[in-house]
């Protein structure tokens, strides 16, 4: 793998965001095998699991065992999603390098997703940051439904920007804007990213898009053209939010990496190995996955000339 900095930083979230809604239980050893393979591909950040109530997300009830079993690659940050102080304590005990805290821009979605008001969530974040600082861990704070809520509709830019400022005031290291339900469009993305960059440097912002309405990669391009350089993606396009009606998978990692490759953007990732991993996913999860490049192959994966043309050339 190249040691130079990539033009675009793709952060892998399939082990957490991808597997959290899978109805078929994925054995811990299989999760660890997937994460170790993703580490070998060259990711600088991988979201491993979440420390939430097993009753709420039973598919990730083995988070501590997964963290204890992975082979950590030097230079890779291993992240845990956490909802509150208890989750933070468990994640830090598991030696998570980064805690990813989530609060929704929408108060309604925040109550559905986290069972908290905004004030309660922000108070929890303040406690979490103190714990993380003591442990030497990073804290990323995510704004879910930043581009729209299935209950409240589009969230005003000013409201999202206020949350960004509150996160920064509390001492978060970086921030993610999440299109939790795939409601974003490129124009909206460009304008919101530009506004956030008035208070946050580009290297501290991640965009998290879902492909619910087929605009995932287009929204990535819109954000990139507005200066964003960090993006979440999930192998095979896995994922979806269990508390967002109609939400489907994340932007597909190998599809995004292929787009970057075709347009000359360096990712630092081994695309061929990514595609190979994605082609194994249906066996792991028990169903087909949305990713397209793994099905069609790379553009220059050429096919044999038909026999009839070889026998009767023009």
- The pLDDT tens digits for 193-247 are 999 999 999 999 999 999 999 999 999 999 999 999 999 999 999 986 655 555 5
CA angle centred on 230, ends 182 and 135, rounded to 5°: 110
Residue 47: strand pairing partners? 79
pLDDT score recorded for residue 2: 43
Distance from C-alpha of 182 to C-alpha of 249, rounded to nearest angstrom: 9
How far is it, in rounded angstroms, from Cα 9 to Cα 228?
10
What are the phi and psi torsion angles at 92 (to 5°)?
-65, -35
DSSP assigned state of 231? E
pLDDT value at residue 208 = 98
List the catalytic residue out of 133, 149, 241, 252: 241
Query: What are the Cα distances from residue 250, in Å, to 93, 181, 203, 207, 210?
Result: 29, 10, 21, 11, 4
Which residues in the chain land under pLDDT 70? 1-3, 240-248, 314
Confidence (pLDDT) at 314: 64
Per-residue confidence (pLDDT) for residue 243, from 0 to 100: 56
Q: Which helix (H) or strand (E) holds 74?
A: none
Residues 6+ apart with CB under 8 A from 14: 34, 38, 234, 235, 236, 238, 239, 250, 253
Catalytic residue at 241? yes
With b meaning 16 or more CB within 10 Å and e meaning fewer, what string describes 23-32? eeebebeebb
> Is-above-0.95 flag for pTM?
no
| pLDDT at position 1 | 40
Contact, 247 vs 212, CB < 8 A?
Answer: yes
């Amino acid at each position: 793998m190249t040691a130079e900095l990539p033009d675009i930083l793709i952060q892998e979230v399939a082990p957490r965001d991808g597997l959290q809604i899978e109805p078929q239980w994925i054995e811990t050893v299989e999760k660890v095998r997937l994460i170790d393979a993703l580490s070998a591909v060259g990711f600088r950040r991988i979201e491993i699991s979440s420390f939430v109530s097993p009753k709420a997300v039973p598919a990730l009830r083995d988070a501590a065992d997964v963290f204890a079993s992975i082979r950590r690659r030097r230079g890779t940050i291993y992240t845990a999603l956490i909802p509150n102080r208890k989750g933070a304590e468990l994640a830090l005990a598991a030696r998570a390098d980064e805690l990813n805290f989530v609060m929704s821009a929408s108060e309604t979605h925040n109550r559905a997703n986290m069972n908290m008001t905004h004030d309660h969530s922000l108070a929890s974040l303040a406690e979490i940051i103190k714990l993380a600082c003591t442990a030497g861990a990073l804290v990323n704070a995510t704004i879910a439904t930043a581009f729209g809520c299935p209950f409240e509709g589009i969230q005003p830019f000013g409201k999202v920007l206020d949350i960004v400022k509150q996160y920064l005031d509390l001492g978060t290291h970086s921030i993610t804007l999440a299109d939790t339900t795939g409601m974003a469009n490129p124009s909206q993305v460009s304008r919101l990213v530009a506004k956030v960059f008035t208070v946050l440097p580009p290297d501290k912002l991640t965009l998290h898009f879902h492909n619910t309405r087929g605009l995932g990669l287009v929204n990535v391009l819109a954000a990139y053209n507005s200066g964003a350089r960090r993006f979440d993606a999930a192998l095979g396009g896995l994922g979806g939010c269990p508390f967002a009606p109609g939400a489907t998978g994340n932007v597909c990692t190998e599809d995004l990496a292929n787009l970057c490759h075709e347009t000359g953007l360096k990712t630092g990732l081994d695309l061929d190995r990514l595609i190979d991993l994605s082609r194994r996913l249906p066996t792991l999860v028990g169903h087909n996955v949305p990713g397209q490049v793994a099905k069609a192959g790379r553009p220059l994966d050429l096919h044999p000339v038909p026999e009839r043309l070889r026998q009767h050339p023009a």
